């Protein structure tokens, strides 16, 4: 690399350039020592994409960056940049801003002037502390992804948002998202005692919601207005003890690492197609109502039996693993279209009834079930392709 640790000034003479991509993984040896971008870069009036990635010693961009009138995408991921220059608001053509893994502490104060901005990506922005309230002025912003931040106050966000992913170790005030009526994907992770003031009243699409809220004890208030929710992931909600009735619109439910969770009520989920419980739940209620269910994964459950399992005639995948107290399974003869069956580490299970009746079975894995002495003759399972016992 150049001893001056700066890109050549002559860079600005490449006026026909439309893409300038610089990355630690593909550039010359020494690229990661770069600490300055020449102001001549502002002469690249036809530049549409500028990516400067993996330059930890680069702490600023020149003000001339605001002269790149054609720029549609700016990527400063994994750089040492602390703050974007104010001139960035002159980039009226910019649609995508990426700053993943950067040291940026705040978004531009007048970010609302980037009137065509559609996507902002800031994954693992551990120094980010402030989101300007001006962000609400972005009329076309669809994706906002800011994770592992230190943001304390989340301002009102533009109602055009389709996907919102926020995580912070410092957020204290209630999150206001009731205006996000176009939202389809929502991922929230707050390690502090953050609450959500109002959920948007979504009605016209299939939203997905992932909540990682370690301090919540009840999920009811968080889902009040999401009556059309299709997919829900509850992850790392370590104080959650019970899940009451969830929106009947749900198609997919995943519960992971909710270590105090004891009771799950599924009786209202008649439209559920996929269920994954990966916690030490002792009481699974309403399983018999999930008549449309196609995929069921249950790990680490403390229950001795799964009442109502035999009613799930549409099951195509059934995985049961590390259930130390499970003593018996119901009659499996109703599972006419079951294709994938896994049974693992259930030491008290002594028998599997009608296993030989699963004529659609293609994959069968059984292991570490010490009380299970034998299996029936499976020679009539003509579709079986994978068998482990």
pLDDT in tens, 202-241: 544 557 888 877 777 777 766 655 667 888 888 888 888 8
Residue 191, both tokens: 């390690």
Q: Place 96 in a pLDDT band, splitting at 50, 70 and 90.
A: very high
| 367 in a structural domain | yes
Which of 29-33, 324-328, 354-358 has the lowest average pLDDT? Answer: 29-33
311 found inside a domain? yes
Q: Helix, strand, coil shares of the chain as percentages rounded to 5?
A: 10, 25, 65
Tally of structural domains, the chain? 2
In terms of DSSP H, where are the helices of the chain?
Answer: none
Domain end residue (candidates: 64, 81, 104): 104
Give every CB contact of residue 102 below 8 A, 6+ residues apart in sequence. Answer: 76, 77, 78, 79, 80, 81, 122, 125, 127
Rounded distance, CA 166 to CA 158, Å?
A: 14
Average pLDDT over residues 257-271: 91
Q: Among residues 82, 104, 126, which one ends one of the domains?
A: 104
Give the span between the Cα atoms of 362 and 316, in whole angstroms. 10
* 118, pLDDT greater than 60: yes
High-pLDDT (> 70) share of the chain, %:
90
Domain end call among 80, 104, 128 = 104
* Residue 26 within a domain: yes
Q: Which domain holds residue 347?
A: 304-389
Q: Which residue has the higher pLDDT, 36 or 71?
A: 71
Residue 231 lies in a domain: no
- Does a structural domain hold residue 385? yes
The mean pLDDT of the chain is: 89
The CATH number linked to 38 is 3.80.10.10
**Helix (H) / strand (E) containing 297:** strand 295-299
Is 123 inside any structural domain? no
Q: What is the pLDDT of residues 293-312, one digit of tens each?
A: 999 999 999 999 999 999 99
- 386 within a domain of the structure (yes/no): yes
Examine residue 335 and state whether it is found in any structural domain, yes or no: yes
pTM of the model: 0.77
Nearest CA to 108 out of 124, 123, 93, 128 is that of 128
């Amino acid at each position: 690399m150049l001893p001056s640790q700066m890109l050549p000034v002559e860079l600005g003479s490449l006026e026909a350039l439309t893409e300038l991509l610089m990355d630690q993984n593909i550039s010359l040896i020494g690229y990661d020592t770069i600490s300055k971008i020449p102001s001549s870069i502002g002469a690249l009036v036809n530049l549409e994409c500028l990516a400067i990635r993996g330059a930890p010693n680069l702490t600023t961009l020149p003000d001339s960056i605001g002269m790149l009138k054609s720029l549609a995408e700016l990527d400063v991921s994994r750089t040492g940049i602390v703050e974007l220059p104010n001139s960035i608001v002159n980039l009226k053509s910019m649609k995508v801003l990426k700053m993943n893994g950067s040291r940026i502490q705040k978004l531009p104060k007048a970010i609302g002037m980037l009137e065509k901005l559609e996507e902002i990506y800031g994954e693992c922005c551990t120094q980010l502390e402030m989101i300007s309230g001006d962000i609400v002025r972005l009329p076309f912003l669809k994706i906002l992804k800011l994770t592992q931040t230190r943001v304390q106050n989340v301002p009102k966000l533009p109602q055009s948002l389709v996907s919102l992913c926020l995580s912070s170790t410092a957020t204290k005030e209630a999150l206001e998202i009731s205006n996000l009526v176009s939202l389809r994907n929502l991922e929230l992770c707050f390690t502090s005692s953050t609450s959500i003031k109002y959920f948007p009243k979504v009605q016209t699409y299939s939203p997905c919601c992932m909540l990682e809220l370690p301090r919540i004890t009840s999920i009811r208030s968080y889902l009040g207005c999401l009556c059309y929710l299709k997919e829900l992931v509850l992850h790392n909600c370590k104080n959650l003890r019970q899940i009451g009735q969830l929106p009947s619109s749900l198609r997919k439910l995943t519960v992971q690492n909710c270590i105090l969770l004891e009771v799950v009520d599924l009786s209202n989920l008649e439209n559920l197609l996929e269920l994954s419980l990966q916690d030490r739940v002792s009481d699974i209620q309403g399983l018999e109502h999930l008549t449309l269910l196609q995929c069921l994964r249950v790990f680490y459950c403390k229950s001795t039996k799964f009442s109502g399992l035999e009613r799930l005639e549409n099951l195509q995948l059934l995985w049961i693993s590390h259930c130390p107290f499970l003593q018996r399974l119901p009659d499996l003869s109703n599972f006419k279209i079951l294709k994938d069956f896994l049974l693992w580490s259930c030491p008290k299970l002594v028998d599997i009834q009608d296993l030989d009746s699963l004529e659609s079975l293609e994959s069968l894995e059984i292991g570490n079930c010490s009380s299970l002495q034998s299996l029936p003759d499976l020679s009539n399972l003509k579709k079986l392709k994978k068998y482990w016992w």
